[in-house]
Structure 1
Amino acid sequence: MDYRKFGEKYIIRLDKGDEIITSIKEICKKEKIKLASVTGIGATDKVTIGIFELSKKVYNQKEFCEDFEITSLVGNVIMSGDELIPHIHINLGDKDSNVKGGHLNSAIISVTGEIILDVIDGEVSKELNEDIGIKLIKF
């Protein structure tokens, strides 16, 4: 992994074997980033995504181990108390141009990853919403 800062944006190159969520957290901790939007593209061959099932208040996770293009990576990172919470969604294209997507739990880069962190000047937090079962942005 390598990255550079340009104004309030970080351009990140992830290398083969880097894990996306871990890498983003590492940069945010090192650079003291508390709030940012995330976008990216790249390739992965091991990814775990989830879909939140409201009726059970759980994420149903599924792991895929095949070659994918990351056609879209979008989300945010929020520092809530002492916890950095990445909330990122991913779309993946396979060799037959089929697309899978959902909440990103983990993805290992297979070729490269190109990610942009756009730092937002401000702070918000997250608070557990008991009715829904997840932490929501609190202003």
Structure 2
Amino acid sequence: MDYRKFGETYYIRLDRGDEIISSILGICQKEQIESAIFSGIGGCRSAEIQTFIPETGSFEVQELKGMLELVSLTGNVVTDDAGTYFHHTHAAFSYKKDGEHHIAAGHIKSIEVLYTAEIELRPVLGGRIRRKYDPETGTGFWDFGTETD
């Protein structure tokens, strides 16, 4: 992995075997980025895609393996009041199975790079977006705080 900051934006190149989500979170921690958005593309080896099932309050996981074209990655990073980092990431992959092209997409748990991934990370400027836990859904949502935060 390598990354550079140009202006206010970070450009990240991930290499074979790198895990995308933990790499993004690691850069945010190292650079003290408390909230950001990101997007990217790449060639991946595996992915865990989650679908939230409201009736059970849990996620179903689909595991993909093989040559996966990461055609779209988008997400955000936020922190809670304790400084814990969280991500909310969605992605779409194209791949061949049994000689046919397929697409799979959804909420992402993890992605491992096969060849490379190219990520643009844009920190929130002039403020901070926090994560606020919602007990009704058992998940977290954006919290903008107050003007003095």
Range of TM-score over shorter length: over 0.9
SS in 2 for 1:67: strand
Deviation at 1:133, TM superposition (A): 2.0
Determine the C-alpha separation between the residues in 2 that align with 1:45 and 1:84: 25
Matched, 1:114 2:118: yes
**Residue 92 of structure 2 corresponds to which residue in structure 1?**
91
Deviation at 1:64?
1.3
Unaligned runs of 5+ in 2: 145-149
Give the Cα separation in 2 of the matches to 1:127 and 1:36. Answer: 16
Q: Which residue is equivalent to 1:7? A: 7
> TM-score, normalising length from structure 2?
0.89
Tell me which residue corresponds to 1:123: 128
Q: Conserved in 1, the CA contact under 8 Å of 2:77 and 2:86?
A: yes
The structure having more radius of gyration, on CA atoms, is 2
**2: distance between equivalents of 1:103 and 1:38?**
14
Gaps of at least 5 residues in structure 1 are: none
With normalisation by structure 1, the TM-score equals 0.95
1:25 corresponds to 2:58? no
| 1:65 corresponds to | 65
**How far apart, in 2, do the equivalents of 1:52 and 1:133 lie?**
11
Structure 1 residue runs of 4 or more that deviate by more than 2 Å after TM superposition: none
Counterpart for residue 55 of structure 1: 55
Q: CA deviation at 1:97?
A: 3.0
Instruction: Indicate if the aligned counterparts of 2:35 and 2:130 stay in contact, CA closer than 8 A.
Output: no
Identical-residue share of aligned pairs (%) = 37
Q: Which stretch shifts more, 36-45 or 119-128? A: 119-128
One-letter amino acid of the counterpart of residue 119, structure 2: I
CA contact (8 A) 1:44 1:109 kept: yes
Q: Which amino acid counterpart does residue 93 of structure 2 have in structure 1?
A: L
Q: CA deviation at 1:63?
A: 1.2
Contact 2:45–2:67 (CA under 8 A) maintained in structure 1: yes
